Amino acid sequence: MNEIERKFLVLNDSYKQEAFSQSRISQGYLNSHPERAVRVRIKGYKGYLTIKGKSNESGTTRMEWETEIPVAEAKQLLTLCEKGVIDKIRYEVKEGKHTFEVDEFFGDNEGLVIAEIELETEGEMYTKPQWLGKEVTGDERYYNASLSHTPYYTWKNK
């Protein structure tokens, strides 16, 4: 149930030509407490309920539990979420044996593009695509739960 993930800023949009999949995502938080977050997500035509625990010191590993729920229920739960529903398109890009998930944000987070890679271990090696920029793993400003209540536009130029 642990998720090991690294996050990066993205330098340009060449990932779009490399993507094998893309999906529109809407997600909100029933609870965005730093110790635990409860997320509702609609990805394409599917709904999900996810619980995430607090990240370890490096920000790389945390507990994650997710289950698929009917999209009608997800839509209903989104109406109960805290202010700041996230709107983004996720592009999936294969690089070596890994898949990068690249999120292009809209609304109050427009202009932000983040790539994530899930790993089996914290020290696992992976191939970095040319469009991968600065690592922001552990920087809580880039967590979706944080972006929902402190959007990118409020701090991007600081």
Q: Which among 15, 29, 142, 152 is annotated as catalytic? A: 29
The tokens of 110 are what? 């427009």
> Which domain covers residue 77, as residue numbers?
2-154
Q: How far apart are CA 90 and CA 106, in angstroms?
A: 11
Render pLDDT for 15-31 as a digit per residue (tens, 0 to 9): 999 999 999 999 999 99
Tell me, yes or no, if 29 is annotated catalytic. yes
Report CA torsion sign: 65, 29, 84, 21: positive
Number of domains present in the structure of the chain: 1
Report the pLDDT value the prediction gives residue 57, as an integer from 0 to 100: 87
Render pLDDT for 101-115 as a digit per residue (tens, 0 to 9): 999 999 999 999 999
Q: Is the pLDDT at 4 greater than 90, yes or no?
A: yes
Report the pLDDT value the prediction gives residue 122, as an integer from 0 to 100: 93
CB atoms within 10 A of CB 63: 14
Report the pLDDT value the prediction gives residue 1, as an integer from 0 to 100: 85
pLDDT more than 90, % of the chain: 92
Say which CATH number the domain at 90 has: 2.40.320.10
Q: Is the pLDDT at 158 greater than 80, yes or no?
A: no
Render pLDDT for 27-86 as a digit per residue (tens, 0 to 9): 999 999 889 999 999 999 999 999 999 998 888 999 999 999 999 999 999 999 999 999
